[in-house]
Every structure is written in C-alpha cells, then in structure tokens.
Amino acid sequence: MTVITAEGLRKSYGQHEAVRGIDLEVRAGEVFAFLGPNGAGKTTTVEILEGYRDPTVGKVQVLGADPAHADGGWRARIGVMLQTWQVEPTLTVRESLAQFAGYYPRPLPVEDVVRLVGLEAQRDTRAGRLSGGQQRRLDMGIALVGDPELLFLDEPTTGFDPAARRGAWQIIAALRDAGKTVLLTTHYLDEAQALADRVAILVDGRIRTEGPPDSLVAGHATRITFRHPHGVELPALPERVEISDGRVELRSHEPLPLVHTLTTWAVQNGVDLADFEVRRPSLEDVYLDLTTAPQAQP
Ligand code: ATP
C-alpha cells in the first residue's frame, strides 16, 4: 500500500524555485530517508507532505488525502518532529507529553513515551531547562505520543550524543517493526544506511538518485589507499592511480586481484605500503559523488 505519493512537485519562494519537480512514492511500513546538502529542498518537501506548506505546482496524496486540505482525523494519524522547538518551556517533560497526548484519540501512555525516549530522569524537569539533545528527545516523544501510522522526523538525532543516537535508531527500527511508516531527513549518512529501506538524495530541489542504500552503493568502486612509498616506482596497474597529499588511491570494482598484485609486488620488492587500506564503498561515497559533482543548469 502506498502511503505517500507526490507527482511533479514544485515550490517557489518568490523568484527562487526550492523544489523543482519531485516524484515520490513511499510504501506502508518502510523507512524512507531524504538526504541532501543544506538548502536542497528537503524540509520544504516534507512540510508540503505534512500539510504545512502548499506546493506551487504538483499533486500530493498522504494517507489518501491532500495534506493541504486534510481534516483533524487525518492529522491524528501522523506524527511530526520538526526542526524547530514546539514545546512550552515552563511545562515539564510529562506535562508537555500529556498536553500533546490530549490532541489524539488513542495516545500512548505518557510514562511509556518518557521511557521510550530515555527521559525518565528528566520527567519532572521543565522543558526549558533540558539540554539540546534532551529537548530533541522530547520532540521525538511528542511525535510518537499519538501512536501515529506515519511519522515525519526532520533531522531527529541532531545534537544527540552517540549513545542517544543509537537509542533513537532502536526506537525508529522498532517503529518500523511495528508497521509504522517513517519519513526521515538526516545529514548522517550512517543513520540513513542503518535505518532506511530506501533513500532519495536531493540536490538543488531535484531527486538525483533513489533506492535501497545497498543497491545505490553496489555500483560504486572499492577504494584502495596507501602512503606513497618514497623513491619507488609503482608497478603498472590497469586502474587509474591518483596521488594526492602523499597518498595513493585506486578505485576498483574487482579489488581482490588488485590487492594481490600490489601486496605481491610490495613483498617481493621489500616495499612498505604504509597505512594500506581497502575500503568498501558506502552511502557517503555515493552522496559525495552526487553532491560535489558539477551540476547541470536548469
Ligand atoms: P537543511 O539541510 O539546511 O535543513 P533543506 O534541504 O531542508 O536544508 P529547505 O529548508 O527546504 O532545504 O530550503 C530550500 C531552499 O528554499 C533554500 O534555498 C532556502 O533558503 C529556501 N527557503 C526555505 N524556506 C523559505 C522561506 N520560508 N522563504 C524563502 N525561502 C525559503
């Protein structure tokens, strides 16, 4: 079942076209991640899907309705974690969650949400006195408290310490296991790789590539790097050799024979291949290739 569809979505702010023709389909029960540089149009797109902004052009359906004209019943089925702080600073963690729980017909028990987001020790702390990371956890709790079918999480783990990030990942994975659909924006590529069933990389308001992280990565070469051995000529290799800052880099789709050639040559000639590294491609390689390559003009 499709939960989100967008066709030919465009959004202009005055002369600036922030979203330039996005087509999208998100299925029930998947975690879908939007990646892209600052200003790529992720938040604008997500806010259109949430019904907080109207598109300039295009059609959108979310949970069977046009978000711009959806009713309260529709809103009760979605949970939203915005980048901006939406909590009254004088309310405690429990009071804030209880306030938002009141907007939903079948909310989760507040204490369960407090535990889920790891704020047990802060349950009676006023929101304004929480640390930045704790405030983001409260934001996540607010998105969850209505037990929504569809969650929009905009940069959910920004400001989290490493343990809290792992905790948030577990929460998101558990939500997916419970059959919820999650649309996530993030700048953490490891987060997308760990959580997302599919990712879309946005650049300049357009989706440049989309698919499961592993399939996007599959087309990319493995990187082999080592420190350039002083005063030694490298063996002839079929791959292009790049040397910068004293490091040699080779990229190959078949790294095993290359590693064999290099290491055999090094052992036979007594050459030390210092800092020798073989690195499988990651989502970060795909992302950097797409976002740092020169862009076609519209
Ligand atoms: P980030 O990663 O920094 O959150 P983003 O991909 O979410 O970025 P958007 O916030 O959607 O990007 O912004 C896309 C473009 O639209 C940017 O150039 C931004 O300056 C512009 N923009 C966003 N909101 C508005 C607004 N309310 N008025 C005018 N321009 C806006």
Element (H, E) at 17: strand 16-27
Point out the ligand 1 atom lying closest to the alpha carbon of residue 44. Answer: 11
pTM, 2 dp: 0.86
Place of tokens 């789709």: 253
> Which residue's C-alpha comes closest to atom 2 of ligand 1?
38
Can you tell me the distance from the alpha carbon of 197 to that of 29, in angstroms, rounded to the nearest whole number? 10
Q: Which domains does the chain have, with CATH numbers?
A: 1-77+149-159+175-219+282-298 (3.40.50.300), 84-147 (no CATH), 222-280 (no CATH)
Grade residue 294 by pLDDT with cuts at 50, 70 and 90.
Answer: low
Counting ligand 1 atoms within 8 A of each CB, the residue from 20, 38, 48, 207 with the most, and so the one to mutate, is 38
Total residues found in the chain within this entry: 298
pLDDT digits (tens, 9 = 90+) for 2-24: 999 999 999 999 999 999 999 99
* Residue ranges lining ligand 1, Cβ < 6 Å: 13, 18, 36, 38-44
Radius of gyration of the chain (CA): 23
Is the model's pLDDT at 297 over the cut of 60?
no
Q: How far, in Å, is the centroid of ligand 1 from the Cα of 145?
A: 28
Is the model's pLDDT at 161 over the cut of 90?
no
pLDDT value at residue 298: 47
Work out the average pLDDT over 179-189.
95
Nearest Cα neighbor of 142 from 186, 194, 84 is 84
Q: Residue 225 pairs with which residues in a beta bridge?
A: 249, 277
Cα angle value 48/53/54 (rounded, 5°): 85
Grade residue 295 by pLDDT with cuts at 50, 70 and 90.
Answer: low
Say how many Å lie between the first and final Cα of the chain, rounded: 34
